[in-house]
Chains A and B, each alone.
With several copies, the nearest count.
Chain A
Amino acid sequence: MAIFIDKETRVLVQGITGKEGQFHTRQCQDYGTRIVAGVTPGKGGQKMDGIPVFNSVEEACAKTGANATMIFVPPPFAAEAILEAVDADMELAVCITEGIPVLDMLRVKSAMAGKRTRLIGPNCPGIITPGACKIGIMPGSIHLAGGPVGVVSRSGTLTYEVVHQLTSQGLGQTTCLGIGGDPINGTSFIDCLLAFQDDPETQGVVMVGEIGGSAEEEAAAWIAAHMNKPVVGFIAGLTAPPGKRMGHAGAIVSGGRGTAAAKLAAMRENDIHVCENLGNLGSLCKDVFSAVLS
Chain B
Amino acid sequence: MKIHEYQAKELFRQAGIPVPDGQVCYDREKIPSLIANLNMPVAIKAQVLAGGRGKGGGVILAHTTKEAQAAAEKILGMQLVTLQTGEEGTAVKTILFEQGIQLKKELYLSMLIDREQADIVIIASRDGGMDIETVASKTPERIITVHVNPLLGLQSYQLRKLIFGLELDPAVTKSFATLVKKLFTLFLNSDCSLVEINPLAITVEDTVMALDAKMEIDSNSLFRHPDITAMHDSSEDDALEAAAAAHGLNYIRLGGTIGSMVNGAGLAMATMDLIKQAGVEPANFLDVGGGASAEMVENGFRIILSDPNVRGIFINIFGGILRCDILAQGVVTAARKVGLSLPVVVRMEGTNMEEGREILAQSGLDLTNATDLNHAASLLTEMVQ
Contact = CB atoms under 8 A, between A and B. Distances in A.
Instruction: Report whether chain A binds chain B.
Output: yes
A146 interface: no
A6 interface: no
Contact of B270 (A77, A161, A255): A161
Interface in A227-282: 234, 236-241, 243-244, 246-251, 255-256, 260, 276-280
A102 B113 contact: yes
Nearest to A255: B133
Nearest to A77: B156
A246 B273 contact: no
A246 B262 CA distance: 12
Most buried by B among A211, A215, A247: A247
Contacts of B150: 103, 106-107, 110
A32 interface: no
A25 interface: no
Interface string B133-153: 100000000000001011110
A141 interface: yes
Contact of A237 (B116, B151, B263, B269): B269
A278 B270 contact: yes
Contact of A109 (B118, B267, B275, B376): B118
Interface residues of A, number: 75
Given A107-B150, A139-B351, A279 B269 contact: no
B304 to A, nearest CB: 16
A65 interface: no
Contact of B290 (A137, A159, A210): A137
B66 interface: no
A84 interface: yes
Contacts of B211: none
B358 interface: no
Contacts, number: 201
Interface string B334-376: 0000000000000001110000000000000000000011101
Contact of B161 (A58, A75, A139, A208): A58
Contacts of B349: 142, 160-161, 164
Contacts of A160: 267, 318, 320, 349
Interface residues of B, number: 62
A50 B349 CA distance: 33
Interface in B212-234: 218-221, 223-224
A238 B264 contact: no
Nearest to B273: A238
Nearest to B286: A247
Given A183-B115, A184-B118, A213-B115, A137 B320 contact: yes
Interface of B: 84, 113, 115-116, 118-120, 133, 147, 149-152, 155-157, 160-161, 164, 188, 191, 193, 218-221, 223-224, 250, 252, 254, 262-270, 272-277, 282, 285, 287, 290, 318-321, 349-351, 372-374, 376-377
